[in-house]
Amino acid sequence: MRHWGKPLAAFCIAASLAVIHSWAQAAPAPASSAPLEARRVSLTSVDSKGGKATALYGVWIKARKSLTTKGPAPTVIALHGCGGLYSMVKDGKGEFTPRHLAMARVLSDAGYNVLFPDSFTPRGRRSTCQDTVAQREISAMNRRFDVQAALHWVTSQPDVDVKRIALLGWSHGASTLLAAMNLAETDVAVRKIQPRAAVAFYPDCRPYAKTTEPFKPAAPLLILMGENDDWTPPQACEAIEQKMKGSDTEIALRLYPDTYHDFDAPGLPVHVRMDVAGVGKRGEGVTSGGNPDARSQAYRSMLNFLDAKLNY
C-alpha cells in the first residue's frame, strides 16, 4: 500500500474544506442551507504513552449560531474509522467521505460544534483497514492520546462549553472511543475534563467483553450496531452491556435488524469485502453497506441521547 506523506496531507485538508463548503451549499438541509463554517486546526498528540510529540490536525466545524443559545455551544469530537476521513485522494486532492459530511451537517444543524481529528494522513497513512492487528501501528489504544489532544484543543476555545463535550466514533474510531473513555487507564482517570457522553457506531468491543477485563466508562455510552455485523460482531458489545448492569454509568446498546457494518454510510451498497485482514470467517470476508432506515433511526437515537446528556 502506498503511504501518503505530509505534503499531500496538507492538500487533503485544504481540498476537504472546499468540498465541505460546496456540498453544504448543494445538499438539502432540514434546518439551514447556509454553508458549513469549517477550518483546519493543529493538534499535538503522542504516538504512545510517554512517546514523542506528534503534530496532527483536524477539521473544526462550528455550530449553527441561529440554533444555539447565547454563549458557548456543546461540542462533539468525531473519530474516523480505519478508512480515514477521506473517500478519495486524486491529483493531490482529498474529499471528506459522505458519512463524515452527513454527520457534520446533522450535528452542526442541531447546534453542536464538531471537531474531526485526523489520526492518519499526518502520520503518512490514508487507511489501515487492510493491515493485520499486528501491523497497525496506529492502534485504538494509541489513538486515545489523539483524543486527549482533541480534548485539550476544544477546551481552550471560547465558543466551547467545556461542561458539554461528547465523543463520537465509527468502527476503529469507536474502538478508540472505548479506550479513551475507560477509567481503568490512568491517563483517562486523571484527565481534568471528561466528556459528558459518548456515541459509538459499531465498535470492536472484544477487548472489554471479558469479565476479568476492567472497563468503566467515564460517561454514559450509547452503542449503535447492526445485528448482522460480521466485522465487529455485536455479541461482544452485548457482553459489555450485560457486564455493566447495575453500574452507576449508563450503557445503552441499540441493534438494528438486517443491518451490517457501515450501515450509516450514505449511498454505500451492501457488499462483501475480502481485503480486511484478521476479521470475519476465514475465506468469507466481511459485509459492509448502508441501510437508510437504520441510519435514520440511529441518528434519531444519537441526537436524543446527546440532547439528554448535554443540553440539561
Q: For position 60, which CATH number holds?
A: 3.40.50.1820
- Tell me whether residue 31 is in a domain: no
pLDDT at position 93 is 56
Residue 88: strand pairing partners = 95
Cell of 95: 474529499
pLDDT at position 203 is 98
- Which domain covers residue 106, as residue numbers? 36-309
Number of domains comprising the chain = 1
pLDDT at position 283 is 66
DSSP 213: S
pLDDT at position 298 is 98
Give every residue of the chain whose pLDDT is below 50, as ranges.
1-16, 18-19, 21-31
- Tell me whether residue 264 is in a domain: yes
pLDDT at position 121 is 87
Reference 146, options 171, 114, 179; nearest CA is: 179
pLDDT in tens, 216-242: 999 999 999 999 999 999 999 999 999
Angle (CA) 172-12-85 rounded to 5° is 20
C-alpha 242/C-alpha 126 separation (Å) is 36
- Tell me whether residue 12 is in a domain: no
pLDDT at position 23 is 39
- Tell me whether residue 40 is in a domain: yes
- Tell me whether residue 27 is in a domain: no
Beta strands in 85-135 (DSSP E): 86-90, 93-96, 113-118
- Tell me whether residue 25 is in a domain: no
- Tell me whether residue 182 is in a domain: yes
- Tell me whether residue 199 is in a domain: yes
pLDDT at position 282 is 65
Q: Which amino acid is at 234?
A: P
